[in-house]
Amino acid sequence: MAGDSFSSEDWRRFISSLGENPDRPGLSDTPARLGRAWAHWTSGYQQDPAEILKTFEDGAEEYNELIVVRGIPVYSHCEHHLAPFFGTATVGYVPDGRIVGLSKLTRLVDCFAKRLQVQERLTSQIANAMMFHLRPKAVGVVVRCRHMCMESRGIRTPGEETVTSAMLGELQPNLGMRTEFLALARE
């Protein structure tokens, strides 16, 4: 895993560079914990969206309406500062003869969130992966996140939420379908 490539000594040097003593009691186990934490937070690099989005046809033969999952947790890290950003995603699609297990949509969001990211790319990656692997009639993704790089440093604006969206396939030209998706995506 990505975080595993840093040795405990690397993390010890990082702690020392902050002006701390990595040997004091409260920090003695921190280098190992940092390695495990960053391995988890960047585990999306080891996940394959194609494996996540295995589809099946049973149950989708006649279904041609939106399928939407709201409130999917998003926990990621900004590639500019390595600061966390977090929020929720709404993912929807209109199948074209094949559906995917609903939990797979949550796993897909997690796959891309567990990489160093910017929210705009995260949103596009989710939508593009669904379009490519599911081949649906339409895909919509809305991501709402708070960014610690804005809340805890720089402009310091607690509570601001950034909203990004991606609409692919029939959601682009079909205003009625787009309006329905956005209404369903409201939390």
Transcribe 148-186 into DSSP letters. Answer: HHHHSSTT--TT--EEEEEEEETTTT-HHHHHHHHHHH-
Which tokens is 162 given? 């950034």
Give dist(CA 36, CA 29) in Å, integer.
11
Phi/psi zone of residue 72: left (φ > 0), alpha (ψ -120 to 50 degrees), beta? beta
Q: Which residues are catalytic?
A: 78-81, 119, 147, 149
